[in-house]
Amino acid sequence: MTARERVAGTVANYVDERTGAAKWMKKNLTKVFPDHWSFLLGEVALYSFVILLLSGTFLTFWYDPSQREVLYEGTYAPLNGLHMSAAYSSTLHISFEVRGGLLMRQIHHWAALIFMAAIVVHLMRVYFTGAFRKPREFNWIIGVGLLTLGIVEGFLGYSLPDDLLSGTGIRIAEAIIQALPVVGSYLAFFAFGGAFPGEAFIPRIFTVHVLLLPGIFLALITVHLMLVWYQKHTQWPGPGRTEKNVVGYPLMPAYMAKAGGFFFIVFGVTAFLGAVASINPIWLYGPYNPGQISAGSQPDWYMGWLDGLVRMSPPLESHFLGHTVSWNILIPGLIVPGILFTGMALYPFIESWITGDKREHHLLDRPRNVPNRTALGAMSLTFMLVALINGGNDIIATNFHLAINQVMWFSRIAIFVLPPIAFVVTKRICLSLQRADRELVLHGRETGRLLMLPHGEFVEVHEPISPELAWKLTAHEQAPALALEDVDARGVRRAGGLKNKLRKRISQANAESISKPTLNDLKEIEHH
Ligand code: HEM
C-alpha cells in the first residue's frame, strides 16, 4: 500500500465511522446510467444554474437594490451629471469600475440565457421521446414548475439594473397585473407599494431574485434529481435493453469524470461568451424614466413570445359595473399562457387518458413512432415561434423595410394558420419515416449497385441491415385505438357519451401508423 493510499484510507475510515457513508457510497457509486448525448441537456441546465449562483453572488457585493435618486459621477462620461437610481448607478459601477465586473455581469446574463435554452431543449427531449410517461409524471410537473420559475427569475434579473429597457418591461408587467379583473389594480398597488414606479419595487424584486426563487430552485432541482435517481433513467431501445434493466456505465468512474469535464466545458463556453460577446449594455439605454421609452425595446428571448402575444392583440375592452376589463392584455398576457402551461403540466395524464395506457415506460419512443405527439409538439413550437417573431415586430419592420402593421397582421393570421399546418405536415413526415423504416427492414439498404439480369432487366442490389438495426426499427409497440363502444355488451347506452366519443376520435387519430413488418412479411420476402 502506498503512502497516498494509506492516507486516503485513514480519512475514509474516519468519515465512515462518524457517518456510516461507506455502505451508501458503495451501493450508489456503482449505479448504472444509460449513455446518450441527449441526456446531457439536463446537465447543461444544472451546470448553468451553478454558474448563475456563483456569478450572481459576486454581483451582490456591489449592486445596490435601491431606487433612491443619486447623481452619477462615475467614469462613464456620457451619463455624467445625470440623476438616476442607486440601482442603475451601481450597475454602471460594476460594469466600468469593479475589476472583472463587466465580465461577471456578462457571464451571469449569458448563463441565464443558456440556462433557459437548456431547460427548453431538455423539455423537448423529454417530451418528444415520451420520457414523461408513468412513473415520471411528477418529474414532468416539477419541470414545468422550473421552467415557469426560470422565466420569472430571468425577468426579475434583467429588471434589476433599472435602465430604460428593463423599466419598460416592468411597466408591461404592471399592466398585465392590472388587467386582472377586480383585484388587478389592488394587486399592482400592493406589488409596487403605491403608484408606479414607486420606490419599493426594486428592493422587493431583489429579495425575490436572490433569495426566494433560488431557494425554491434548489429545493425543486434536488427533488427532480432525487426522482431521476430513484426511478432510474430512461434508455433508448436497443438489443438487450428492456423495461426492466438499465444498460450503461457506472457512476464511478465513468460519469464522475464525464460530468466533471462537462461542467468545465459549459463554464468555459459561458465565460468565453461573457468575455467576447456584449450583452445588455445598459449604459447605452440610460436610466429608467416612466415618461420615456427607447425604440426597439426587446425582452430576453424566453419572454419574447409573451410580449409578441400582447403586441398582436386587437384593442378589446369592456366596461361594466364601473370596472374595465382589458381583454387585449388579459387574454394574451394571462389566459393564453395559463392555458398553455396548464396543458403542458397535464399532458402526461391527457396522453394516458387518450391511449388508456397505465403501464410504466422506461424505454424511450422514437418521435416518428408516435406521430400525434410529435405533431402536437411541432404545432406548439410553431405557435411560440410566431409569437416570438411578433415580439420583435418593430426590429423586423425596421430591418426589412416593412410597415409594423404588416408584420403584426402576418403574425395575427399566422398564429392561427401555421400551427395546424405544422401539425399535419409533421404527422405526414412521421408516417413517411415509418414507411421508410418498414422498407429498410423488409428490403434492406439500397447499395447504389445496379445488376443486369440475363434477360436484360436492371435491378438495384439491396444489402440486409444488421439484426441490431432491425431490432431498433421494430421494437416499438403499435397499440390499437381504444374500443369505446357507445353501447355496452348488453345494449345499454354508456354514460358520458360525448366524452367517450371525443376520446374515441382522438384515440383513433393517435393510433394511426404504418404497420411495422411482421415475421410473416419477412418470411414472404425470403420466399421470393
Ligand atoms: C432547472 C431546470 C432543470 C434541471 C437542472 C434539470 C435537470 C435534469 C437532469 C440532470 C436530468 C437527468 C439527465 C437528463 O435526462 O437530461 C433530468 C431528467 C428529467 N427531467 Fe429535468 N431538469 C430541469 C428542467 C426540466 C423540465 C423543464 C422538464 C419538463 C417539463 C424536466 C423533466 C425531466 C424528466 C421527466 C426527467 C427524467 C428523464 C428520463 O429519465 O429520461 N426537467 N433533469
CA dist 418 and 273 (Å) reads: 34
First to last CA, the chain: 68
Name the percent of the chain in helix, strand, coil, to the closest 5: 65, 5, 30
Give the pLDDT confidence score for residue 528 in this predicted structure: 65
SS3 345: helix
Residue nearest to atom 8 of ligand 1 (CA): 42
Angstrom distances, CA of residue 378 to CA of 367, 420, 478: 11, 9, 22
Q: Give alpha helix (H) positions in 356-483.
A: 371-391, 393-399, 404-443, 467-474
User: Does ligand 1 lie within 6 Å of residue 210's CB atom?
Assistant: no
Atom of ligand 1 nearest to the CA of 144: 30
Look at residue 128 in the predicted model and tell me its pLDDT: 98
C-beta of residue 528 within 8 angstroms of C-beta of residue 459: no
Closest atom of ligand 1 relative to the 344 alpha carbon? 30
141 lines ligand 1 (CB under 6 A): no
Residue 1 confidence (pLDDT): 78
Residue of 139, 222, 258 to mutate, ligand 1, most atoms within 8 A of C-beta: 139
Residue 39 CB less than 6 A away from ligand 1 = yes
Cβ of 140 less than 6 Å from ligand 1: yes
Give yes or no for residue 151 CB within 6 A of ligand 1: no
Chain-centroid distance of CA 65 in Å reads 30
Q: What are the cell numbers at 459?
A: 435491378
**Shortest-distance atom of ligand 1 to CA 136:** 35
Index of the ligand 1 atom closest to the CA of residue 131: 41
Cα gap 394→408, rounded to integer Å: 9
Residue 281 has a pLDDT of 96
Q: Does residue 362's CB lie within 6 angstroms of at least one atom of ligand 1?
A: no
pLDDT at 501: 87
Cα-to-centroid distance, 53 and ligand 1 (Å): 19
Contacts of 196 (CB under 8 A, 6+ apart): 171, 174, 188, 290
Grid cell listed for 407: 408584420
Cell readout for 50 is 451553478
Please tell me what DSSP assigns to residue 246.
-
459: part of which helix (H) or strand (E)? strand 458-463
Q: Indicate the top mutation candidate among 50, 53, 122 to test ligand 1's pocket, ranked by most ligand atoms within 8 A of CB.
A: 122
Q: Is the CB of 131 under 6 A from ligand 1?
A: yes
- Could you identify the atom of ligand 1 that is nearest to the CA of residue 220? 1
The SS3 call for residue 503 is helix
Domains of the chain as residue ranges with CATH: 32-300 (1.20.810.10), 427-526 (no CATH)
Of 48, 114, 132, 228, the one to substitute when testing ligand 1's pocket (max ligand atoms within 8 A of C-beta) is 228
Taking only the tens of pLDDT, the chain with its 528 residues reads 789 999 999 999 999 999 999 988 888 888 899 999 999 999 999 999 999 999 999 999 999 999 999 999 999 999 999 999 999 999 999 999 999 999 999 999 999 999 999 999 999 999 999 999 999 999 999 999 999 999 999 999 999 999 999 999 999 999 999 999 889 999 999 999 999 999 999 999 999 999 999 999 999 999 999 999 999 999 999 888 999 999 999 988 888 999 999 999 999 999 999 999 999 999 999 999 999 887 888 889 999 999 999 999 999 999 988 888 999 999 999 999 999 999 999 999 999 999 999 999 999 999 999 999 999 999 999 999 999 999 999 999 999 999 999 999 999 999 999 999 999 999 999 999 999 999 999 999 999 999 999 999 999 999 999 989 998 899 899 989 988 777 777 878 877 778 888 999 999 999 999 999 888 887 887 766
CA dist 454 and 441 (Å) reads 28
Is the CB of 87 inside a 6 Å radius of any atom of ligand 1? no
Distance 43 CA to ligand 1 centre (A): 8
CA distances from residue 119 to 3, 267, 318 in whole angstroms, order as listed: 45, 16, 38
Peptide bond preceding 281 in cis form (omega within 30 of 0)? no
CB burial readout 497-507, b (16+ within 10 A) else e: eeeeeebbebb
139 lines ligand 1 (CB under 6 A): yes
Rounded to whole angstroms, how far apart are CA atoms 381 and 398? 25
Calpha distance 316→326 (Å, rounded): 6
Q: Is any atom of ligand 1 closer than 6 Å to the C-beta of 266?
A: no
- At residue 205, the 3 state secondary structure works out as helix
112 lines ligand 1 (CB under 6 A): no
Task: Name the DSSP class of 287.
Answer: B
Neighbouring residues of 146: CB distance < 8 A, sequence distance ≥ 6: 119, 217, 220, 221, 224
Ligand 1 centroid distance, CA of 316 (Å) = 39
